[in-house]
Amino acid sequence: MTTPRLRHRRGRLGAAVSGLAVTALTVALAVPAAAAGSTLQAAAGESGRYFGTAIAANRLSDSTYSTIANREFNMITAENEMKMDATEPNQNQFSYGNADRIVNWARSNGKQVRGHALAWHSQQPGWMQNMSGTSLRNAMLNHVTQVATYYRGKIHSWDVVNEAFADGSSGGRRDSNLQRTGNDWIEAAFRAARAADPNAKLCYNDYNTDNWSHAKTQGVYNMVRDFKSRGVPIDCVGFQAHFNSGNPVPSNYDVTLRNFAALGVDVQITELDIEGSGSSQAQQYQGVVQACLSVARCTGITVWGVRDSDSWRASGTPLLFDGSGNKKAAYTSVLNQLNAGGTTTPTQNPTTPNPTPTTPPPTGGGSCTATYSEGQKWNDRFNGTVTIRANTNISGWQSTVTVRSPQRIIATWSGSPSWDSSGNVMTMRPSGSGALSAGQTTSFGFTVQHGGNWAWPSVTCSAS
């Protein structure tokens, strides 16, 4: 089989994040066993999401490849066939043959299509690489208009602009021939795409924007916020999500998705692959899926390829199926997490994003309330703290902490614990006097070995 053209040669951000901890901020909803989906697309559909893959036209004749793609995925992205060099190899001479092959295969099998990508500094045709200024701007807008018009009504979401921000600490735009046509080039591309295909979702797509604290993430966030405030037609933001041991899933990944969604855009995981193998890879995949499921406007996930051997990072075995088409441990973890369900409640728009929302609303009422706060996280465990607040004068209290299988509490401090027969429910009582005056607080803590489930425990409080 022909080796695929490598699509991105990226530099990774140097700062490593602490482990693969991805904390889902919304408790997953249980799905009855009878309703559990047996494929990725069916399981994702239970919460109204899609699960997709990238397809190469020259592999559709491979029966193993096409069978897996048809069975498991319901959103299709062309790996290279819809990019600028493929669709307009000569100026004003458009070529859609291979792109049409993918779009027609997808639609004939009842699938939707993500268009990738209309404007990008890379994989430009040679004639465009040699242009600049007004002529380049006009050529780019013509390309956007012609391609989006040709596929009008057939595309679910377009990556209108791809990878326009620089890596590093500046948070600014990438220096490219398109950027040098003027800082409004991205806005112009989105407006042209909306005019050409009014019903497609219009997305900005980038990599290394997963960690909320990174300058690049903030730069893209500020652009999207500006676009929304001025009525620039942007509907979604794509997060490529290429991870490996040096760039693992960040602990605040769900925070990033939630803060972008709060701007009034959908968020989509668009090119997911995670180098590795075994349980470590499976846990990272599970964490990404769990983060998406915790955000109502995370509408779907696309993995960048079908089998490991089809990947642009094949040596890193980053996908859900091995080279022979067998399901890997990562596949099972993704399927199980999708079947655990997710939130479909509309995301509320806060006045300003909170980069570290580490506490949910307090639970309880009456005489006392309990508030859970997340603490330090490692690959296999995390710490949590519960703060008890007396609403009236109380002489004592007790708190229950419920974890979800396969989680188990392996250490506690600042209290006297006991467990029920399942081991999933811990009752914590004060080690000494539990008397608290109205408004006074006290805290206890514990460590959870998560077994791949990063969901926060639920906590309650009762007083005497």
Mind telling me the catalytic residues? 163, 271
**Is residue 438 classed as helix, strand or coil in its secondary structure?**
coil
Residues 6 or more apart from 77 whose CB is under 8 A from it?
52, 53, 54, 55, 113, 114, 115, 116, 270, 271, 302
Q: What are phi and psi of 238, to 5 degrees?
A: -100, 135
Maximum separation of any 2 CA atoms in the chain, in Å? 81
**Is residue 65 classed as helix, strand or coil in its secondary structure?**
helix
The helix or strand, by DSSP H or E, that contains position 316, with its residue range, turns out to be none
Beta bridge partners of 444: 386
End-to-end CA distance of the chain: 71
DSSP 238-252: EE--EEBTTBPPPTT
| The residue type at 397 | W
HSE at residue 137, side-chain half, CA atoms within 13 A, is: 12
Taking the C-alpha atoms of residue 133 and residue 23, their distance in angstroms, rounded to an integer, is: 45
CB–CB of 274/330 below 8 Å? yes
Beta strands 298-303 and 408-413 are unpaired
Which is nearest to 72 in space by CA: 324, 302, 286, 343?
302
CB–CB of 229/184 below 8 Å? no
Residues 6 or more apart from 20 whose CB is under 8 A from it?
248, 249, 280, 283, 284, 287, 379
CB atoms within 10 A of CB 214: 22
Q: What are phi and psi of 221, to 5 degrees?
A: -60, -45
